[in-house]
Structure 1
Amino acid sequence: MKATIQHVAEEAGVSVSTVSRAFTKPDLVARKTRDRILAIADNLDFRISRSATALKTGQSLRVAFLTSDPLATWFNAHVFEGMNSVLQQAGYDISLYQIDTPEKRHDFFSILPVQRNADAVIVSSFDIDPTETGRLNTAKVPIIGINVPTTTSYTASISIDDAAGMQLLAQHLITLGHRQIAFVGVPQDSKIHFSAHKRERAFVDTCLATSITPSVIHVEDDDELVSNVMTALLNLAQMPTAVCFQHDSMAIRLWTSLRKYGMECPHDISICGFDDSTYAKDISLTTIRQDPQKTGQAAAEKTLRLMAGDSSFQTHQLVPVHLIARESTAKVSASS
């Protein structure tokens, strides 16, 4: 005979509602009691019905994750890993939505309140339109931002201080004696705003404050990135002695190709990035460190608390940045 929730409750010496909470809201059950219930349930081969739980609570037991880039990117993969480590234990699945246009964003926020197929929304790295999220706020569906350009319309957020990070990189290059400096980033879309675009503005402003006018180069982050960057650099009136990239993956790709152009890093040109991502340490890339896995965990913890009706915490959090100075940046050589 198949075990029921009543069998588990009787064996554990607790009420049926306590067994239910041990599965659906484990944070409300004492650890010792919860562990005993789960052990007995496992021994009896009992599994609570997900659909029945959703029907009873009015929850979908699902969190929507909105991102503009593929999940396979370094940042998104680590954010997802961090979120899932928290949400899965609480009984929630994550549904991925790739949003890269205002139209897709509008469609998502128009359909979700009707279908109610997510109990919370986590948005990574772009802004949202207050006119699109009103119905979710009315329905008390929390919206949590990760590395977002503004906290407007977000119930809570956790973001790295992009501006402070780029200020550190610019000051680092200037301290090393660089005056011919370039910044390389992706083109900015005026219709949807991304947090990484704040990096360019902060870098340029820091240079201008010391009477240095950096060259700004916009290129698509595609297979032609290296050739497009080098073409742009060589077409400048004077070749920069230092280049700062919007993120590490762009910097690493140029670093690996410099010898094709008869150049060495940092002897001929200093290079720095942003993220401290995979391989940054291997090539000794100067960068700004962030930990997207921890960011994802923190966002998920905020999400769970908000879904439980608890907002008695720091809802909007700005994470400090750290400059990681390595061998890809050096003082300007005498020949430069």
Structure 2
Amino acid sequence: MNASIQDVARRAGVSASTVSRSFSHPGLVSQKTRIKVMKVAETLDFQISRSARALKSGQSLRIALLISGLVTEWFNSNMFLGLNTVFQQQGYDISIYTISTFEDRKAFFTNLPVRRNADAVVVCSFNINAAEVSRLRHMHVPVVGVNISDLDGFDAAVTIDDRGSMETAVRHLVSIGHRRTAFIRTTHGTPFTYAADKRMEGFLEACKEAGTKVTPIVLHCPLKPNPINSAVSQLLALNPAPTALCFQTDDLAVPVLYRLRQYGRTVPGDFSVIGFDDSTYAEAIGLTTLHQDPVGMGERVAEKMLDLIDHDHTEKPFETFSTQLMLRETTAPLAA
């Protein structure tokens, strides 16, 4: 016969509700009590019923995560790690919805509100429109954004200042003598407005702020068939060539950097290069880049969502994480 929650409570000398909280909301129980409950539960081979908890609370214990790219992409995977670190401890599962086409987007915002099988929705990196907000509102669950540029319709969000961050990069390049700088971005051809689009705006604004002696160049590289080939071919065709390059992401900067070296261009001799993200290999290869913290952003988003789920309120619903320019080997003063 399986042990009951009452058996665990009697053996541990606590109430049944404390046992339940030790499994479902461990943050509400002292560490000493939680350890004691877990040891007793293990001894008695007790496992709390997830379905019973869901039935009792009226919750699905599921979070819907909307991403527009692959979950294996650097930002998405690290943000998911942060989310899961918090949600797993609280007994929640995360369902990932990859939305990369207009059909995917329409299907999600039509079907999820009907199914009502999520306790909250996380939207990562792209903006939702008024009609989509309205559909989600019918679910009466929190809608929280991470890395979004438009806060309208969201109950909470954690973001960075994409525009201001890129302005910082350009000002650094200007300060070390660069006057002809290119911004290189990927174009997706999808029905989305991305937070990263603000980086180009920041680049152009900082160039304008620097005065007429600074010449900005913007290179648009279609995601398909290959943005790397497009970036390299466009760069090598420029005459006169830029002396500095700002990339929308490290994912674009790193392979282009190596391809340029294959064509006899030196970094930072011919080009100073700045990426954006400070992703996995940026430090190892000496890439100057703008650092952001997707794991921390994911954790903070999860904490805000739990507040909204449990209390319909969170202390600081909208928060901006800082970025930092990491100066490494791919930038140098312009040679006289």
Task: Give TM-score scaled by structure 1 length.
Answer: 0.94
- Report SS of the residue matched to 1:274: strand
Q: Tell me if structure 1 keeps the 8 A contact 2:245–2:272.
A: yes
Q: Which residue of 1 aligns with 2:156?
A: 156
Q: Which residue of 2 aligns with 1:112?
A: 112
Say which is worse superposed, 17-26 or 210-219, in terms of deviation. 17-26
- Report SS of the residue matched to 2:290: strand
Q: Tell me if structure 2 keeps the 8 A contact 1:204–1:213.
A: no
How far the C-alpha of 1:176 sits from its partner, in A, is: 1.4
Q: Which residue of 2 aligns with 1:307?
A: 309
Q: Which residue of 2 aligns with 1:256?
A: 258
- Report SS of the residue matched to 1:39: helix
Change (3 A) 1:93 1:102: same
Q: Which residue of 2 aligns with 1:73?
A: 73
Q: Which residue of 1 aligns with 2:284?
A: 282
Aligned residues: 334
- Report SS of the residue matched to 1:168: helix
Q: Tell me if structure 1 keeps the 8 A contact 2:101–2:190.
A: no
Gaps of 5+ in 1: none
Equivalent residues in 2 for 1:131-210 (5 A)? 131-187=131-187, 189=189, 191-210=191-210
- Report SS of the residue matched to 1:214: strand
Task: Give TM-score scaled by structure 2 length.
Answer: 0.94
- Report SS of the residue matched to 1:88: helix
Separation in 2, partners of 1:296, 1:93: 14
Separation in 2, partners of 1:143, 1:34: 31
Separation in 2, partners of 1:183, 1:163: 13
How far the C-alpha of 1:222 sits from its partner, in A, is: 5.6
How far the C-alpha of 1:136 sits from its partner, in A, is: 3.2
- Report SS of the residue matched to 1:121: strand
Separation in 2, partners of 1:223, 1:312: 43
Q: What is the Cα-based RMSD across aligned positions, in Å?
A: 1.8
Say which is worse superposed, 241-250 or 22-31, in terms of deviation. 22-31
Separation in 2, partners of 1:219, 1:139: 38
Equivalent residues in 2 for 1:211-230 (5 A)? 211=212, 212-221=214-223, 224-230=226-232
Say which is worse superposed, 195-204 or 228-237, in terms of deviation. 228-237
Q: Tell me if structure 2 keeps the 8 A contact 1:247–1:275.
A: yes
The counterpart of 1:265, out of the listed 251, 267, 278, is 267
Change (3 A) 1:309 1:109: farther
How far the C-alpha of 1:291 sits from its partner, in A, is: 1.1
Separation in 1, partners of 2:254, 2:102: 31
Gaps of 5+ in 2: none
Say which is worse superposed, 223-232 or 254-263, in terms of deviation. 223-232
Separation in 2, partners of 1:153, 1:285: 37
Say which is worse superposed, 202-211 or 97-106, in terms of deviation. 97-106
